[in-house]
Amino acid sequence: MPYFTDLAQQYIDGEWRPGTGSWDIIDFNPYTGDKLCSITVATADEIDLAYRAAERHQPAWAATNPYTRRLVFERAIRLIDERTAELTDVIVAELGGTQIKAAFELHLAKEFLRAAMNVALSAEGRILPSPVEGKENRVYREPAGVVGVISPFNFPFLLSLKSVAPALALGNAVVLKPHQNTPVTGGTLVAKLLQDAGLPGGLLNVVVTDIAEVGDALLAHPVPKVISFTGSDKTGRHVAMVAASHFKRCVLELGGNSALLVLDDADLDYAVDAAVFSRYIHQGQVCMAANRIIVDRAVAREFTEKFVAKVRTLTVGDPRDPATHIGPLINSSQAEHVTALVDEAVEAGATALLRGKAEGNLVHPSVLTDVPEGSRALTEEIFGPVAVIVPVDGEDEAVRVANDCRYGLSGAVHSGSVERGVAVARRVHTGMIHVNDGTVADEPIVPFGGEKHSGLGRLNGEHFTEAFTTTKWVAVQHGRTAFPF
């Protein structure tokens, strides 16, 4: 596959070049175990080169007419359409994503590129009144300057573009570090797409590396003014601490332990469909996935029987096969973690209604219930094909259980009454929640982000402008100020 030979490099100052670190990141296909490529890691010196290139090229880009900037993203959309088959193959090979998942990711990537075209025109200024006679207060929206973006492995193409594209559209330059498990899909493939779409060199730089090589160089470097990070809450805490110590803004899109609530008047067949999709899409490796399915005891038996029956129909196997619903987890460590978590819950007293076996990185779906309070299966982000069903007595207990969690990213409520569903949804402490739908959703103009340990700040729509620009007050005195001395 040519992408894994041609793009197994760093992309700095418009040039493709090897890294100069002392070791290589080996990129494996998580289903077959085949080596896709190896990339010599970037060093702290190369991070400096990337940031300095971005700093050097950014002013001219900021001065470019925003209608011209947006043409890059228009062309990128056309290129995705032209290269859909190739891009799908890359997502399947590097992530173990199914055909369904790849189509979902590419569709959303195009939607966010369309959003970037609009964002390019969103940096509006204002004129504010002044109590001083003859004074005019102008408030300008200026690009932040250089933005550092760190993307995850689960939706790397989409989640890299989701920060990279609006940051560039608003006149910034970017240094992107993809996850080491998805260096091509989340990094160099994004650079190639935008390069081919006409983005001038030096505005997007991609450094493939690891903290073991560069430490905090990506975060602490003096050039970037904003850090956009998507990943775990543990790493997000560290990013926030380093950014704050260097007076940088950060946007953190972190993990989740979302709850899908099924009330006693819900359409159970529909709720089952929503819950199965929300739990098992991309093997459960989704921050918005429904880890906990909280069901009113009045309907719990019927719901559970239908849910387990549907999960049994899911096909586990080769992600290249269009019939496959569940492919491999990203690596053996994650597969072992998920298996151990299920074993631990069962040993502590949980009932396994369905206990999936592990075959290498393929982990078959599990369904647990009667999970003891405090179990990691209830409190942690599972990031694997494991559902936990929690029966409760009424909506008050459902809300209490949903809120008994350090995360607050997404959620869903199913009810036969929309307004009852909305009333319950508003009581759940989460940044996003959906009535009579799944927990996994994203749209370009809605505020996307979480509460508690699920992050800081928001992305999408007007929040892109807030995240990647700064305001400047320019006061103009048309008369003469009477100074007191």
Q: Which residue numbers are catalytic? A: 253, 287
CB atoms within 10 A of CB 231: 20
* DSSP, res 447: -
Q: Cα 222 to chain center, whole Å?
A: 25
- Mapping DSSP to helix (H, G, I), strand (E, B) and coil, where does residue 465 land? helix
What distance in Å separates the CA atoms of residue 483 and residue 83, rounded to the nearest whole number? 65
Task: Please report how many Cα atoms fall inside a 13 Å half-sphere around the Cα of residue 166, on the Cβ side.
Answer: 27
* DSSP, res 106: H
Q: Are strands 173-177 and 146-150 parallel, antiparallel or unpaired?
A: parallel
Q: Cα 149 to chain center, whole Å?
A: 11
Structure-block tokens of residue 338: 């998920």
When computed from its CA atoms, the radius of gyration of the chain, rounded to whole angstroms, is 24
Ramachandran bin of 338, using left for φ above 0, alpha for ψ from -120 to 50, beta for the remaining angles: alpha
Structure-block tokens of residue 482: 């009477």
What distance in Å separates the CA atoms of residue 218 and residue 233, rounded to the nearest whole number? 18
* DSSP, res 283: G
Write a three-state SS string for 356-388. Answer: CCEECCEECCEEEECCCCCCHHHHCCCCCCEEE
